[in-house]
Each structure stands twice: as structure tokens, then as C-alpha cells.
Chains A and B, each alone.
Chain A
């Protein structure tokens, strides 16, 4: 497998897993019980959505590091802005959030910006 293909696949997997991480953090966050006592602590520890979110973030950084071993940071990093697309798709599809043209144009600007900052 050539390097370009390997980097593309590794980063695509990393961003998809990372997007699910963000999704699960969101799902877990709405079930938190903010109290400074035992019950509040347990609501954090036993919150499997939150734990899954952190786990997915960790897993995505493993794939990210795999890509970084082959490619340079300036090449690898702009690819991670795919996560903005995946998170938007996931939040419209699974969280039933609404999207409008301002948000879509905004995401396009951010992706362009991330690519330019890391050039």
C-alpha cells in the first residue's frame, strides 16, 4: 500500500471515530447530574456514554498517530477537518439538529481555514 493511500485511510478512520467520540460526549453530557456529592460523582463514573466518548477520542488519536508516522504534520492535519463534516452529519442524523445555509457556509470557511493555517 502506498503512503498516500495509507494516510488517507488512517485519517478517515480517525476522524469518523473522533466524530462518534464527540457524539457520545454530547449524549453523555445531557445525562450528567452536576452535584458535588457521591451521587453526582457516580453519575459521571457510571455514565457509559461519556466514557465511550473519551474512549473514542483516545482511539481516534491512535489512528492519527499512525498517519503521522508516515506523513508530515502539515499534510496530515488539514485532513482532520473532515471531522466537522462528519459531526454535522451525525448531529443532523442522530440528534435531529437543524442545519441552515449559514452553518454550512461557516463549516466550509472553517475547513478552508484549517487547511490554510497548516500549510
Chain B
């Protein structure tokens, strides 16, 4: 009788241990495969938008900076720096939620935003090769996004 009870107790203990082990394992594997979330991708895209906006403001600001006074009263330049800082915050928030090897290449999107802005704001000339480049960046970023979801 006592033998039976001890058998029962030991089997219960063993099953609980295996279940907790399995739970730990699934938890760990979930975290490991931790697919880069859509939230992370949205955050990194926002970060590139802010980076490009900051760059454009800085480019605009560098037009008139001779003396020290002109630099510290240069509103576009200073707001460009502040927007750069905001972009960095978005980047760090994004990196929390996903893999670096997936999110880092998305930074290349800023090339596209800057090119679009230079067409709209500065009337810059964009060659066919440049357009091919933009297409290539978009294809590349899409492939990385696809690769991240199909591991």
C-alpha cells in the first residue's frame, strides 16, 4: 500500500518536472525564434523617416552658418539635430522588439525618403539609374522582411 502511494507520488513529481521542463523549453524556443514583430518594423521605418527629415533640415541649415552666433541661432540646424535624436529613440525602441540583422537593413529606406524629398523640395534631377537604385532597395528590404517571417 505504502509502496503504491510512493509510486504515485514519484510519478506525479516526475510528470510535473517534465511538464515544467517542456513549458520552459517552449517558452525559450518562442523567445529564440522571436520573429521580428510588425511593431519593430513600423518603428524602424518611422526612425528612417525622422532621420531623413533631420538630414534635410540640416542641409537647409548649413546654407548659412559662418559665425558661432549663426550656428547656435540656426533653427533648421538645431531642429535637425533634435529630430535626429528622436530618430535614435525610435531605432532603440525598434531594436528591443526584433533582430538586428533584420532591422538594420531597413535603415537603407532613408535613401528613398531623402531622394523623394530632394525631388519635391530642391527640384533635384533623378536619373534612371537612381530610380533603379530605389527599386533595388525596396526589393531588398522586402526580401529581408520576407526572410524574417519564413525562418
Interface residues of A (CB under 8 A from B): 22-23, 25-26, 28-30, 32, 50, 54, 81, 83-84, 87-88, 90-92, 95, 97-103, 105-119
Residue of A nearest to B106 (CB): A110
Residues of B77-109 whose CB lies within 8 A of A: 88, 91-93, 95-96, 99-102, 104-105, 108
Asked if B111 CB lies within 8 Å of chain A CBs, one says yes
**Tally of A-B residue pairs with Cβ under 8 A?**
126
- CB-CB under 8 A from A30, the residues of chain B are 95-96
Asked if B74 CB lies within 8 Å of chain A CBs, one says no
Count of B interface residues, CB-CB < 8 Å = 38
Chain A binding site: helix, strand, loop or mixed by DSSP?
A: helix
Provided the pairs A50-B92, A103-B147, A113-B135 are in contact, do residues A108 and B100 lie with their beta carbons within 8 angstroms? no
Interface residues of B (CB under 8 A from A): 88, 91-93, 95-96, 99-102, 104-105, 108, 111-112, 115, 127, 129-130, 132-148, 150-151
Task: For A87, give its contact among B88, B104, B130, B137 (CB under 8 Å).
Answer: B104
Q: Are B144 and A106 touching (Cβ within 8 A)?
A: yes
Once bound together, how far apart are the Cα atoms of A2 and B28, in whole Å? 53
Task: For B140, give its contact among A54, A97, A98, A108 (CB under 8 Å).
Answer: A108
Min CB distance A50 to B, Å, is 7
Task: For A25, give its contact among B91, B101, B129 (CB under 8 Å).
Answer: B91
